[in-house]
Amino acid sequence: MSIEQTLRLRLERAVTSVPVVELDVEETLAKGRRARRVAFVRTVGAAALVIGLGIAGAINLVSGETPRPVPPSGESPRPSVTQGPTQAEMESVVRSWLQAVEAGDEEGAWALMSEDARAAIGRDRFDQMMASELPGGFGALAYSGLDIEIIEVQLPGPNPGFVASMSGNLEQEGTTNFAAQAIPVRIEAGKPWVDETFVEPELLTAWTSASVGPRPFRAGDELHIEAIPSDIERVYLSIDGASPLRARFEGEAHGVVTLDRVLDAGLHAATIVLADDAGRTFTVARTFEAAAP
């Protein structure tokens, strides 16, 4: 007896023995024939899955139980994940860290940083930075009223990464300018921590250069990111805190992002997130101006 005859017989028995399941034998076999053209082994597995799910579904319906949703073919159900911190909690930690930096509170700022960030920086270097550039740098953002958007990116490992993207008008020394900044956030033991290591790759992004002047940005435009460090595995771009777009690599140090929407005329903030194969993230934030599309 051929495989198809065997499957037909099993399917007809399933329909006869469990009448509450509406199973189109010819349609199911047609799907099996199409799948067989892709791979013989997958055809056999798919047919067995159809039969098993049909009978299992019928048993659940007869017993009054609600059937569980079945994941699409070829995909495995995601494992349950413990509920992590909310975006509001991540934003609160970032603001508290900025305020501690602005106040010169070395202990308070250090306590809000991840273990990895502290190990990468070292306490002596951090204290030196707190005594010099940090209060006037990151600290200037503490009470600026800049909007904070939490961006989520998929890292090479099992856990996602998060970045606090900040943009808005910043007043410094009597002048007001549109500014942007980004700070990595790491989740440890279910809590958010500032993961800033003060390492900013010197990327080349001609489209953010003030010398280029305003230009229209339309859906489908390609935004080039160059001079990407060799140890970076993934690059993402978020504009104005929106869902990040992943860059495709064209060469080791050259990434390209295809814009998914038209940008309104005016100032915008670009947050670039880089991830290495160890799951560490680095951020670059830049402003640029768009002309009317």
Q: Is residue 147 located within the same domain as residue 283?
A: yes
Q: Which residues contact 130 (CB under 8 A, 6 or more apart)?
A: 101, 104, 106, 109
Mean pLDDT of 230-235: 95
Share above pLDDT 90 across residues of the chain, in percent, rounded to a whole number:
61
> Smallest Cα–Cα separation from 273: which of 264, 261, 265, 282?
282
What confidence tens digit (pLDDT) does each residue in 173-210 have?
778 889 999 999 999 999 999 999 999 999 999 999 98
Residues 13 and 115 in one domain: no
Specify whether 269 is located in the same domain as 204: yes
CB–CB of 225/247 below 8 Å?
yes
Helix (H, G, I), strand (E, B) or coil at 5: helix
Considering the domain architecture, whether residues 133 and 272 belong to the same structural domain is answered as: yes
Residue range(s) defining the domain that contains residue 168: 87-290
Domain assignment present for 77: no
**Averaged pLDDT, 269-282:** 94
Query: Residue 130 — very low, low, confident or very high, per pLDDT cuts 50/70/90?
Result: very high
Let me know if residue 172 belongs to a domain. yes
Pair (116, 245) in one structural domain: yes
Residues 228 and 91 in one domain: yes
**11 band by pLDDT with thresholds 50, 70 and 90:** very low
pLDDT of residue 12: 53
* Residue at 184 is within a domain: yes
134 domain-assigned: yes
Whole-prediction pTM value? Answer: 0.70
- Is residue 81 domain-resident? no
**Residue burial 29-47, b: 16+ Cβ < 10 Å; e: rest:** bebbeebbeeeeeebeebb
Residue 48 shares a structural domain with residue 185: no
- Pair (110, 254) in one structural domain: yes
Domain count, the chain: 2
Residue 62 above 60 pLDDT? no
Domain CATH for 268:
2.60.40.10
* 153 has pLDDT over 90: yes
